[in-house]
Chain A
Amino acid sequence: MDMYREELLEHWRNPLNFGIIADATLIVDQVNPLCGDQVTFYFKIENGKVKKVKFTGNGCAISIASASLLSENIKNKKISVLSRITGEDVLRLIGGSVAPARLKCAFLALEVIRKING
Chain B
Amino acid sequence: MSKEIDITALQSGNIQAFEQLVNLYEKKVLNMCWHILHNREEAEDATQDVFIAIYQSKHLFKGESQLSTWIHRITMNKCLEYMRRAKRKKRFGIKVPIDESFFAVENESQLNPEQVLMERERSKAFFTAVQQLSENQRAAYSLHHFDEFSYKEISESMNLSLSAVESLIFRAKQQLLIQLKDPILQNWI
Task: Please determine whether chains A and B interact with each other in the same assembly.
Answer: no
Name A residues whose Cβ lies closer than 8 Å to a Cβ of B: none
Name B residues whose Cβ lies closer than 8 Å to a Cβ of A: none
